[in-house]
Amino acid sequence: TRVMRSRGLRLLTMLMIPFSLCSARLERGDITRVEADAIVNAANSGLLGGGGVDGAIHRAGGHAIYNECKAIVDKHGPLPPGRAVITSGGRLLARHVIHTVGPVWRGGGAGEAETLASAYRESLRVAEQYGCATVAFPSISTGAFGYPREKAARVVWDCISDYVKHHALPAEIGLVFFAPVDLAIFEKQIEGARLV
Ligand code: APR
C-alpha cells in the first residue's frame, strides 16, 4: 500500500518531514478504519487485549489477532514496555498490527520519555523489516497509561523525524487522534518543530 486510506476519518494535516522522503498525516478518528500496511496497537505486556484502542483493535480484528498474540506470549513471555511485535491484521483493513507497549506515566522521572520513544522506534523498525510503506499510530500511552499529551507530542515528533531521516521506510506515517482536543494539543506542540 503506497498511499494510506482511511474510512470515516478526517485528514487534517499532511506534513513533509524535513530531511526525509517521508510524510506524516495527522488524522482524527478510529484507527481500526485505517487502510495501511500496518496499524500500531497501544497494548499492555500481556498482549491479550484490554480497553481503549487495544480493545477496539481486537474487537474489529477478530480472533486471529488474539491467537497470534497468545502464541507470541506463550513462546517469548510478556512484551516489555518499549518493545514491539507484529501479527496479521485479521479482519481489519490493515495488513498487519504492530503491538507495542508504552510506559505508564509515573511523573516523568522513571524513563518514561525514553520508553515512549522506544515504543515508536521499535514499531517503525518492525514495520520496515516487514516492508511496510504505510503505518498508522494511535497516541500511545496518553489514555489509560496517563502520559501527558503535551509532553508525548514532542517525544513522538522528535522520534519519528529522527527515524525517517535514516531509513527509507515507512514512506507515510499516520498519527491518528481519537479526540479533536488531542489533535489540537499535538499540532500546537509541534508548531515550532515544523518550521525547522
Ligand atoms: N482509534 C484511535 N485512537 C483511539 C481509539 C481508536 N479506536 N480508541 C482510543 N483511542 C485513543 C485514546 O483516546 C488515547 O488518546 O488512544 C489513545 C491511547 O489510549 P489507550 O488506548 O488507553 O492506550 P494507553 O494509554 O497506551 O494505555 C494502554 O490501555 O486498554 C489498555 O490494554 C491496554 O493496558 C493497556 C493500556
* Stretch (H or E) spanning 15: strand 10-16
Name the stretches of the chain with pLDDT < 50: 195-196
Residue 86: the pLDDT is 98
The CB of 42 under 6 Å from ligand 1? The reply is yes
Decide: residue 114, CB within 10 A, 0-12 exposed, 13-18 middle, 19+ buried: middle
Atom of ligand 1 nearest to the CA of 30: 1
Residue 6: the pLDDT is 73
Cα–Cα distance, 127 to 60 (Å, whole number):
21
Kindly name the residue from 30, 37, 54, 182 that is annotated as catalytic. Answer: 54
Q: Which residues pair with 173 in a beta bridge?
A: 24, 135
The CB of 61 under 6 Å from ligand 1? The reply is no
Distance set, CA 10 to CA 27, 174, 185 (Å): 6, 12, 16
The backbone region for 130, taken as left when phi is positive above 0, alpha when psi lies in -120 to 50, beta otherwise, is alpha
Give the Å distance between the CA of 143 and the centre of ligand 1: 5
Residue 40: the pLDDT is 98
Asked whether 59 and 39 are in contact (CB, 8 A), the reply is no
158 flagged as catalytic: no
The CB of 44 under 6 Å from ligand 1? The reply is yes
Give per-residue pLDDT as tens, 183-193: 999 999 988 66
Q: What is the pTM of this model?
A: 0.96
Residue to mutate (ligand 1; options 53, 106, 150, 155; most atoms within 8 A of CB): 53
Residue 2: the pLDDT is 60
Residue 19: the pLDDT is 83
Residue 196: the pLDDT is 45
The backbone region for 113, taken as left when phi is positive above 0, alpha when psi lies in -120 to 50, beta otherwise, is alpha
Atom of ligand 1 nearest to the CA of 101: 26
Give the Å distance between the CA of 116 and the centre of ligand 1: 14
